[in-house]
A and B are shown apart, each in its own frame.
Chain A
Amino acid sequence: MRVVLAGAIATAALTPASAFAVDYMNADQAARLMFPDADRFESRPVVLDADALQTLDAQGVRARSARWPVKLARRGDQTLGYVVSDEVVGKFELISYAVGIGLDGAVRQIEVLSYRESHGGEIRLPAWRRQFVGKTAASTLRVGDDIANISGATLSCTHVTEGVKRIVAVVALAKKTGLFE
């Protein structure tokens, strides 16, 4: 074991904090990883109408968005499952992730596509959040080259967990209403 300190902790507190980001994979790579048998992925965006939003609300799911970018994993004329990507903003981080769902409606795999740790202040600003709107997972979010391993009190993945539940509910509802036929 070798630990080399960056400097005295007292001086570290004076250095400005930095932000960083990691791209793990893009949405297409995640889809192929989750459904290696698929020969193609068909885009089937789900647009929830007022009734659908109410139905979800009654299940305790805040749909948050009316439009969901669902991809169908297909092999020949068979549907193998669904892949949905989404992003969530935490107190200091933005996580974009993809969820693979099987035909039984169960989560098959969750992969984080990218992670961004913020400078804190800006994440509360609407402008900071807006810059991610419409970003595909392939868009670069990398800041510098560093591989940073954050060690703080444990980062909570509550937002991702909630997001996954939301996606499962949206896919189940869309399936039930025949949107994927």
Chain B
Amino acid sequence: MTPARRVLRRARPLLGTLVEIGIVIDGEGSASQTEGDARGDDSGAAIDAAFAAIAAVEGRLSRFAAGSEIFRFNAAAAGERIEIGTDTRRVLAAADALHRASDGIFDITLGSGATGWHCDAGGLHKSGAAVHLDLGGIGKGHAVDCAVNALRAADAQAGWVNAGGDLRVFGATTVPIDLRDETAGGVRRFATLTDGAFATSRLCTDGHASVAAPECIWADALTKIILVSGDARHPLLERFGARAWLH
């Protein structure tokens, strides 16, 4: 018998979806005991910090959040420069790297002009009047990674963050992953995951791509490349230590 352990789980609506955070408080073994608990102990504070990290990413990257760096870029005229922070620059650099490596499949301008923006030391330049950015294909994964970093910084030993299916698990815990049946409803067991990230995307009607990767930013973004290329063995996967499934 593995010792019983306590798992603190909380969920909030963020990033346009339901974000769940779980921390394994003690014991070992597979995550099978759940106890929601709202006491203001350290675990609660760690979860608060993680939710705050996600809200901060959303406040910087969401194209819907008035005043976000991306919102201001989209509202700017050609030739303008928007001040951006280190975090936003890192996500934009990741998006740019994926754009190049995927022969343009991954495109945060959604076809409005992939060459219409570039970054310098602290700024984001807009060169095309029509270009707009949408980090919907990578931002959630990044937010999940930031939340995991916040949990670890608050001394959480093991747990997970799941932003509507963009999931990352850390520490000595294993979680089952279920896929939702979007036609008939219900969920089906797909896999179990330890120390890694997992994301699924859907294109229009049918066809899903799931990707497992060490970090959620890559799992999230790579699902789009797998989905559009239709190649579950896309050469980019290896670079990120990732695996993919089309289903």
Footprint of B on A, CB under 8 Å? 1-6, 9, 12-13, 15-20, 22-25, 29-30, 32-33, 36, 91-92, 95, 97, 110-112, 115, 117-121, 123, 142, 145-157, 160-161, 164
Residues of A within 8 A of B235 (CB): none
Residues of A within 8 A of B202 (CB): 152-153
Binds A, one of B31-39, B75-83, B87-95, B120-128: B31-39
Residues of B within 8 A of A161 (CB): 13
Residues of A within 8 A of B192 (CB): 3-4, 6
A12 and B189 within 8 A (CB): yes
Partner of A111, one of B10, B31, B208: B10
Question: In the complex, A16 Cα to B189 Cα: how many Å?
Answer: 10
Question: In the complex, A161 Cα to B11 Cα: how many Å?
Answer: 14
A6 and B34 within 8 A (CB): no
Question: In the complex, A92 Cα to B185 Cα: how many Å?
Answer: 6
B188 and A15 within 8 A (CB): yes
Nearest CB of chain B from residue A132's CB, rounded to whole Å:
16
Binds A, one of B101-109, B111-119, B145-153, B210-218: B210-218
Footprint of A on B, CB under 8 Å? 7, 9-13, 16-18, 20, 22, 31-34, 36-40, 44, 140, 160, 162, 164-167, 174-202, 208, 210, 212-214, 241, 243, 245, 247
Given A25-B10, A33-B40, A120-B181: A151 and B186 within 8 A (CB)? no
B190 and A151 within 8 A (CB): yes
A118 and B178 within 8 A (CB): no
Nearest CB of chain B from residue A110's CB, rounded to whole Å:
6
Partner of A22, one of B36, B39, B140, B176: B36
Nearest 5 CB-CB pairings of A with B: A120-B185, A17-B186, A1-B196, A29-B38, A152-B180
Question: In the complex, A150 Cα to B181 Cα: how many Å?
Answer: 10
List 16 extra interface pairs beyond A17-B181, A17-B185, CB under 8 A: A1-B196, A3-B193, A12-B190, A17-B186, A20-B187, A22-B20, A120-B181, A121-B185, A123-B185, A147-B175, A151-B199, A152-B202, A153-B182, A153-B208, A154-B166, A156-B16
Given A5-B190, A33-B38, A146-B176: A118 and B185 within 8 A (CB)? yes
B16 and A154 within 8 A (CB): yes
Question: In the complex, A4 Cα to B39 Cα: how many Å?
Answer: 34
Nearest CB of chain A from residue B127's CB, rounded to whole Å:
31
A-B contact pairs, 30 of them (CB 8 A): A2-B195, A3-B191, A6-B189, A9-B245, A17-B185, A17-B186, A17-B187, A18-B187, A18-B188, A22-B34, A29-B36, A92-B180, A92-B186, A111-B38, A112-B13, A115-B18, A117-B187, A119-B186, A146-B32, A147-B7, A147-B22, A148-B187, A151-B198, A152-B182, A153-B201, A154-B16, A154-B165, A155-B180, A156-B17, A157-B18
